[in-house]
Chains A and B, each alone.
Chain A
Amino acid sequence: MRLKIIPVSILFLFLNCSVFAQVPTGFKPIFNGENLEGWHLSRTTHQGTTPDFQVEENYIIVKQQPYGQGGVLLTDKKYRNFELYLEAKIDSFSNGGIFIRSSESGIAYQIEFDESAGSTGSLYGERMPVSKVMQATSRAKVWKANDWNSFRIRMVGEVPHITLWINGVQMWEVKQPKNDFTAGATAGMIGLQSHWTALFSPAAGEWNGLNSWAPGATHCFRNIAIKELDKNLTE
């Protein structure tokens, strides 16, 4: 009898670890695991205005829709100083990423996803130049290819101070020399991006971007949670 109880306790311990332990203490989920309540599509990003963001099991799965048109899913709420935690699973040959302090059209600082370019974890700008671009040079030590990896991003200050951890290991920390946003934004939405690969018509020009999103490629996100920090924090 006693022997039976012990394995059950261990099982509960294991379940707790697998289901809840990923989200660090003090973080509030911003994806409920069931639907996209609290999120909306950008209808002005150049990536595409009709991407396919669906909830399957407990994660968000991202596909282009229609062919060649990506897009950006945004939180309804804007965040100023925060730590964001999420887990992502990305296919090879699929460009996207996490937008932080994003505008409605997806102008943002971006944590890049691009396995074929080897730039996953870089800090870039979407539709804006970023003063200091960063690279996650030690990512290979912790990265699990074609599997779930956790991203923790801390962003504070009017002049952004940003830190990235992948799978719990700090990749880089940067204080930008200035606020790079055109309109000087100090708060913005969290965004999840899928890159475009097709123009509307061959008449528009030559474009070879298939490596940015392979036919049928997907990105998946789960355990998306945020910890809002004091609005006066600068470091």
Chain B
Amino acid sequence: MLKKLGTMLLLGYDLFSAAPLWAQSETVTNSIGMEFVLIKPGSMLVGKFQPTVGEYKPPMPQPGEPTRPVLPESAYKEAEKMAQAASTPGFPVTINQAYYIGKFEVTQAQWQKVMGRNPAFFQGKQVTDNAGKHPVENITWQDAQAFIKRLNKLDKAHVYRLPTEFEWEYAARAGAEDDILWAKARTMGVISEPTTREVGTKEPNAWGIYDMIGNVWEWVEDYYNEKIFADPVPPRTGKQHVLKGASFTGDAKNATYLTHAAGPGNGFDVGFRVVMAVR
């Protein structure tokens, strides 16, 4: 009897709690042509900071050039202590609700379709390929919100919003526990380049999402706390909003999951992607 009750309870749990997830498609394309990827609940560690210190290297004489002086070995020992003191363990973040996130950054063509104009810098003579497929940029956080408001009016079948910083980072990591390797940032991200690129030209991450690193900075919902990393609870007010993922002007140094930047940014390298609620 007890066993039967247990089975019934388990069945009940599956039916009423987990079942809605089964009903969700892994990907969805809306009426505007924006593609979304389903992100399932889970957890991650945010803000784990383990600053690196290289190894001491003695002066290296180059023929015909003055030998560049280097710091003594003792400086490296001091640096190790300082790095240790500055390190932070991070904090766990649990994503309780599934959500859909844009498979790509919002493009100029999508912005044009929804807003009836194109504010991007990298269009016309500034690019040699299809500007419509480049991410939209030169938009403020308020502009991104205006797009979302209009998108919600245009497509009443779904509910759209900006990702929170944690939703963004969880989707960007796609299960990665530590920071992104430089070499991988270069294969996955449009970084250290002169212009934006068409979305989706680099390798996707493990969950099939493109350009989370590089191409354009991406606005998220949260206010900026003016600290190196997010706090467990984002501030309720602030002067700026958080930007994630770096841009084509970025460097492997900041084109990482962890980077917690903020507006206003350059404009011409600031865009966004959209989250769609799971019903």
Residues of A within 8 A of B (CB): 43-50, 66-69, 92-93, 103-105, 107, 116-118, 127, 182-183, 196-211, 214-216
Contact = CB atoms under 8 A, between A and B. Distances in A.
A23 to B, nearest CB: 31
Interface string B248-278: 0111111010111111111111000000000
A187 to B, nearest CB: 13
Contacts of B70: 116, 211
Nearest to A196: B253
Interface stretch (B72-80, B91-99, B145-153, B199-207): B72-80
Given A68-B83, A208-B57, A215-B78, 18 more contacts: A43-B265, A44-B261, A47-B253, A49-B260, A66-B51, A66-B228, A68-B86, A103-B266, A116-B68, A116-B70, A117-B68, A182-B268, A183-B268, A200-B258, A203-B179, A204-B180, A209-B54, A215-B75
A43 B261 contact: yes
Closest 8 CB pairs of A and B: A208-B54, A67-B86, A203-B178, A198-B51, A46-B254, A43-B262, A205-B182, A201-B179
Nearest to A48: B228
Nearest to B242: A43
Contacts of B156: none
Chain B binding surface SS class:
loop
B160 interface: no
A47 B180 CA distance: 17
A104 B265 contact: yes
Q: Which of B179, B217, B247, B266 has the most CB of A within 10 A?
A: B266
B271 to A, nearest CB: 13
A204 B85 contact: no
A179 B195 CA distance: 15
Contacts of B263: 43
A199 B255 CA distance: 11
28 contacts: A43-B224, A44-B261, A46-B250, A46-B253, A48-B228, A67-B51, A67-B79, A92-B69, A103-B266, A104-B265, A107-B249, A117-B68, A182-B195, A182-B268, A183-B266, A199-B52, A199-B179, A200-B179, A201-B48, A201-B179, A201-B258, A203-B179, A204-B179, A204-B181, A204-B182, A206-B54, A210-B76, A210-B79
Interface string B162-202: 00000000000000001111110000000000110000000
B71 A66 contact: no
A50 B226 CA distance: 7
Contacts of B261: 43-44, 49
Interface residues of B, number: 59
B64 interface: no
Contact of A116 (B54, B69, B266, B269): B69
A37 to B, nearest CB: 15
B89 interface: no
B240 interface: yes
A68 B71 CA distance: 15
B74 to A, nearest CB: 10
Contacts of A117: 68
Contact of B181 (A182, A183, A205): A205
B227 interface: yes
B31 to A, nearest CB: 33
A44 B243 contact: yes
A93 B69 CA distance: 9
B210 to A, nearest CB: 21
Contacts of A92: 69
A63 to B, nearest CB: 11
A218 to B, nearest CB: 14
Contact of A215 (B57, B82, B194, B247): B82
A66 B85 CA distance: 10
Contacts of B71: 93, 210-211, 214
B253 A199 contact: yes
Contacts of A69: 51, 228
A68 B83 CA distance: 8
Contacts of B260: 49
